[in-house]
Structure 1
Amino acid sequence: MDTQVADTLLGSLIDGRYRIRGRVARGGMATVYTATDERLERTVAVKIIHPAQASEARARVAGFVERFTDEAKTIARLTHPNVVAVYDQGTHAGLPYLVMEYVRGRTLREVLAERRRLNPDEALAIFEQMLAAIAAAHRSGVVHRDVKPENVLVAEAPTGGMANLVDSVVKVADFGLARAVEASAEEESGNQLMATVAYVAPELVTKGHADPRTDVYSAGIVLFEMLTGRVPYDGGRPIDIAWQHVDRDVPAPSTLVPGLPPVLDTLVARATRRDPGARPVDAGALLAEVQVARDDLGNANSHTAVLRRVADDTAVAQPTMVVAAVRPAERPSWARLPEGGQRAGRRRAAPEQSTGLWSQFQELRARVMGDPRGRVAVLASVVVLALVAAVGGWYFSVGRYTVAPELVSLSKADAEARAERAGLTLVYGEPRYDEKVPKDSVLLQDPASSSRIVKGGTVTLTLSLGPEQFPLPDVVGKEFELAEADLVNAKLTVVKGAARYDDNLPAGVVVDTNPKVGTEVKPGAKVTVILSKGKAPASVPNLVGKSLTDARNALSQLGLVAVETYKDSDKPKDEVLGQSPADGTGVEKGTQVKLDVSKGPPLVVVPRVVDLPCQQAQQLLQSQGFPVQVQFNPAAVVRFQSPGENSQVPPGTQITIGCF
């Protein structure tokens, strides 16, 4: 079935002006339609946010539509030949939409799907126009954050068709849409990863921070893909791909496609440095480097032939790949190097100027050297200049320098005191964690100790933060996959421990960790995650203080097995003293419950009271803790006792004496 027939927007009129004619593409956040602007009678592209995206964004941020509108206005003011122009914005049936320039062509993703990879001259031609668009956005304070082939449109070349991409027009889209959705996500979760993971910059993964250098990194990955036909990293899960950008350097394209000029490896490496500070500051700076490299490649290789093919497309020669020369005059105005024509003009005019200056110098030399006083003046001038040069040379090469003192391993206060004695100024770089150097001690210095430094110069110190430690993240109550991701992001090693039953948390959810949540840990520390097995089939009852018989009956009713261990105790015999597992522990049926059972108090010896007066015997027995029962005549003499003398009985046993 034709899916466009089922699209209810086809044929509808938006805002009384834009008649929807056909659907061009459907992406993750929006659908793009062609439409006729019935007011200006032109074809435009209408991008409408998906209902699910819009409702989700509204649920997170009440002002999503207003924010979307503000971003659309910002991008509408961004005018550049390589930026897809935004004409209008609004809402239709509660869904935000943008009205944009309609570009006849394909996305770079579609081109790469067909061609797999591009020749260097085509790749650089597209790359220059991409960077020109992104640089215009950077100058206006806009960061794209989602540079990828899907957002690069390759229009038909002015000469017609797309056989030679060098002459094609490239336009970058989705500035406003990416930023509007990103702002909604930021207010909800702080650091939301908006870029596609195959092109995401390391700082977006680790800090959620984006600036123009983030777009430079993503553009560098796009250049890598155009040259090699693949992205540098792949993996089973998006988070695995994202962290490869943090942990690994992008490989050189020539390692995958032999024969690529080294300068292309350099451009990719410059754009994709993991440290943002090592990249060009924005797309404009990278564009200047690309243009210079492309001119140099073209001039150096203008005599080399490119790959030729016979009629059946079988390659007959494969020399080193080259880039076609692009003369400054052939560049469009938005892509020329600054003052290219003036520089060339000055280079052409130099020979004519040098001829006139040389003639004037020869005439002055003949006039001076023909006069004796002139020769003396020249000699004196030479001597003075030699002395000045010698003194100046000594000062600039030796005299103005001193030796940088050794500051590494000193405390901050000691380093400042030593630098002050040497007449040097200290500045501090970003501190770093170190396992061996104590906190607030000098970890690095620049220049290094014993290096030459200008007197009164500046030494940059990097202080130690000491061993890196941080509280263990709270992952209790999270499913294992989410808990594992949080702990891996914190650079911790995750180990699964033995699962246990829990009446409050469902199966598969973290119930505890070892070490406990909040404990200070170091990067790389091992964290044992204990998962819930869900509600237990049985719960161990409280048996302490019960008789052994009652305890056995209670366990038997629950399907549990009692295992007794007898211990000395003052408690009555067969009373339960302790249990394992503790009461309330969830267990399976058939589990053994260990019981500590009292043996009863230790036995005592009954003294002999026979032949003693009855009252005296009664007092003796009671003094040793025996209750006494007197039979017959309490005033007589004891004639028998039960239990008998020297019997061992439990403390408190009643003694019966017979008196007569």
Structure 2
Amino acid sequence: MDTTVADTLIGTTIDGRYRITGRVARGGMATVYTATDERLERTVALKIIHPSQATNAHFVDRFTDEAKTIARLTHPNVVAVYDQGRHQGLPYLVMEYVQGNTLRDLLTQRRRLSPVEALAILEQMLAAIAAAHRAGLVHRDVKPENVLVAEAPSGGVANLVDAVVKVADFGLARAVEASSADEPGQLMATVAYVAPELVTDGHADARTDVYSAGIVLFEMLTGRVPFDGDDPVAVAWQHVDNDVPAPSGLVKGLPTVLDDLTARATRRDPGARPTDAGALLAEVQTVRDDLGAANVETALLRQVPPTRAPVADATTVVPAIGAGDRPPWARLPNQAAPRGQEYTAGRLPRSSRRGSSEGPDRRRILLSAAVAVMVLVVIGSTWWVTLGRYTDAPSLINQTKAQVELSAQQQGFELFYGDGAYSESVPKDTVVSQDPAPDGKVVKGGVITVNLSLGPERFAVPDLAGLELAAARGELEQLNLKLKEGSGQYSDTVPEGAVLSSDPKTGTQLKRGATVTVALSKGRAPIRVPDLNGKNINEARDELAKLGLTASERYKDSDQPKDTVIGQTPKSGTGATKDDEVTLDVSKGPPLVTVPDLTNQPCQDARAALEGLGLRVRIDFNPNAFVRSQQPGGNTQVEPQTEVAIQCF
């Protein structure tokens, strides 16, 4: 998937100088882009903090201070910081752009590295971290994602021994930790590499980085981290409760000296580890020298000519594989030149001379025989390493987890479950990919990494109501969703510029890259609806017309006088715009009363009956006689308080 399509910053020029050309990666705190420095005409990396972090003033201040510190930390294995600034209120850093891959990418591709490759990378990692330790800085987040392996001048990173390694994100972890100092229980580190003291009391020093570097070494040698699980807190506490196992327990044939090195770097007691990265670096170089001196196979490969055995006057160099066998452009500072021992035809080392009686022919024969043996050893070793120990990987695609585990048991290979991958077509917990691929080469009895389908990838629309536009956009981008600004609406309760509503609604499940349209508040409407309760309908109509509003009426029964306004929608004080409609509830007056027929009833009884109905009574003639006639007549409907005249005689 092209991750740059939905990013509105692509093509933007920052500070009139840095033109963003693409997006490299997005993390929890910031996004990294490639950009062209149009002033110096070079490619740089530009890291911009997420909008959700920009409101944390403490985090921003520490981020800025640490950036200044790292900019002064000059070292060939540290990713350099060139510049800093703000874009639309968001802090950014301009850094050295390293062409290559992260160590995480390499481990994903190759799963694990050879001991010589792992130590070569670790040396340069520790050289960078040691420089930071000397400057009083602690990285706090040493992991493969923060280790960049640059391409060698010859192109590619296949020869990891000659590759240049650079460590990134110095100081940012410190800034993140400081910003969360008031949040108890929050662990600002990657749990797979976290030191025990960070888990138990939150304390970090140079020995914390030493521990994390030891975990990285373990992963490079074995292809996995020592502690894993679904619960990050549980994984973190495994570092406190358990010792890191020996790498040779997972990968047969690893030298015990690597077990010892890993154990020293990852002791649970910080006081038992090397004091800082520089001390660990010295131990790594010693181990690498020891491995190089014992690595006969590699030495033989380097000394055998490509086409024929050496002639009598040839000179063959047998180098040791140690700290100095990298080319000058990739050598660490103050590193010695390559060491070797020359064997010249016709001249053996002093310790090997027997005297002057041996002729040149005998020496040539012995040398040719030695070379022949070496060639046979190399050929045999090469066949075993490249072909003999491999078999074809079975196809596990579209098999369920249970089927895969049965296949592994029947066919004799080990399973390693990757992080999984989302799929619209492959059912959940079914294999969606494998490494090696079907029919690819795998060591007999070796490990096949499978990724199970996580099912369709969906993201729930968050509650955006009341958020500013930039914050809402940041929330959606973190969920891999896009924001579209819809038409604005007036609101009496939501401030101008804040989100009123979203479409789809909160909680709706969407695919990656889907668009959420938000309606923003335009603030209060310009016209205030007046209070019309108790006014005559005609008076109310006139008042609304003067304000540019229209009236609609709904007549209702009420004990209020007829045509009196008894309610309104919207209420008084509400904002409105021209031609908006105000609905008025208008009284139809009290209910009509039916006048009873009182003929021939005693006059006083008739009076009582009429007054009981809320009518007024007028008696004509003799009040003590009987009713002979009435006005209005019987069964006539009249309004309350209507006068009824009765004639009594």
TM-score tier by shorter-chain length is 0.3 to 0.5
> What's the TM-score, normalizing by structure 2?
0.48
More helix by share: 1
> What's the TM-score, normalizing by structure 1?
0.47
